[in-house]
């Protein structure tokens, strides 16, 4: 005959709860922006009256806020110089305007504002293309397609190739 004895010991009074640490790392790019890289306004004949020319940047303007660290940020564009012609003539930077399509949010959720969906001069002050508003801790990607420039050309403007500077301020 075999006798088995089982003794259960209650060690609850001797148990000690030990907190542990858990670390989670999510890899990827914290924040990044992309933007349209070219714009062809074409060629216009010498106008006898005030004229205008319009063009659209190729590519999207987009910022991915993957850290959510900042409550708000913006991407803006400004014409920082007059357009100077081959023979020294100028087209005032105040005659450079921008318009965009509406902002689209993806990959997360955050507050954002629409700014430049109507023609707005970018010659005197920068104008916002994309703007995240007051949402610290939230991640998202904001994208604008169809960023367009409109330039007013004075009457009897001299022939030549005109160049100027656009300054793009990106948050990341």
Segment 86-123, tens digit of pLDDT: 999 999 999 999 999 999 999 899 999 987 789 999 99
Reported as type and span, the H/E element at residue 130 is: strand 127-132
Contacts 24+ apart (CB under 8 A), 5-13: none
Assess contact for 67 and 31: CB atoms under 8 A: yes
As a whole-number percent, the residues of the chain with pLDDT over 70 amount to 91
Q: Tokens 């303007």, residue?
A: 61
Sign (positive or negative) of CA dihedral 56, 132, 119, 52: negative
* Cα gap 104→83, rounded to integer Å: 32
Give me the residue spans of the domains in the chain. Answer: 35-169
pLDDT at res. 43 = 82
Q: Tokens 């001299």, residue?
A: 158
> In terms of C-beta density within 10 A (0-12 exposed, 13-18 middle, 19 or more buried), how is residue 138 classed?
middle
Confidence of residue 10 (pLDDT cuts 50, 70, 90): low
How many CB atoms sit inside 10 A of residue 144's CB? 25
Which positions ≥6 away from 88 have C-beta within 8 Å? none
pTM (2 d.p.)? 0.82
Q: Which comes out higher in pLDDT, residue 53 or 114? A: 53
């Amino acid at each position: 005959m075999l006798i088995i004895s089982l003794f259960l010991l209650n060690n609850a009074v001797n148990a000690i709860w030990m907190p542990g640490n858990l670390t989670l790392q999510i890899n990827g790019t914290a924040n990044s922006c992309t933007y349209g890289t070219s714009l062809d306004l074409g060629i216009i004949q010498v106008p006898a009256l005030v004229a205008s020319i319009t063009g659209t940047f190729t590519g999207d303007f987009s910022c991915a806020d993957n850290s959510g660290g900042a409550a708000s940020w913006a991407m803006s564009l400004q014409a920082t110089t007059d357009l100077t012609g081959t023979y020294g003539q100028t087209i005032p930077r105040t005659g450079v305007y921008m318009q965009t399509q509406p902002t689209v949010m993806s990959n997360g959720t955050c507050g954002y504002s629409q700014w430049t969906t109507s023609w707005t001069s970018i010659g005197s002050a920068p104008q916002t293309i994309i703007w995240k508003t007051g949402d610290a801790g939230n991640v998202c990607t904001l994208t604008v397609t169809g960023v367009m420039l409109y330039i007013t050309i004075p009457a009897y403007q001299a022939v030549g190739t005109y160049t100027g500077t656009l300054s793009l301020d990106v948050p990341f």
